[in-house]
Structure 1
Amino acid sequence: MRAAEPFVVEVRDPVQSGVTVSVPLDLRDGRATRATSRLTRPRTALADAG
């Protein structure tokens, strides 16, 4: 399974079960751009507070 975008979330449990789960994310319609722009304000606030 491949998503249109090159974003994949992968969770590994090599010690207990040995299972790896990969979930491709389909970030069409500018979702990544909107999410990045929403994070700009809190990142700036945290940088100013530090």
Structure 2
Amino acid sequence: METGVSITGRIRVHQGGRSPKSEAEEKEDRLLKVIGKQKVELDFLKNALR
């Protein structure tokens, strides 16, 4: 059975393999998602009012 130290070390190595997104990149992703949803809603409403 493995000790907690080696498990923690493995988790750190695994997480270190990916570069975390910066706060600005995360905010940009959230905003682009909102813009996409609003565009879908706008297109739907435009088509409904024709």
User: Structures share a fold, TM > 0.5?
Assistant: no
Higher helix share: 2
Normalised to the residue count of structure 2, the TM-score between the two structures is 0.37
Higher strand share: 1
Question: Max radius of gyration: which structure?
Answer: 2
Normalised to the residue count of structure 1, the TM-score between the two structures is 0.37
**Greater RCO, CA 8 A, separation 6+:** 1
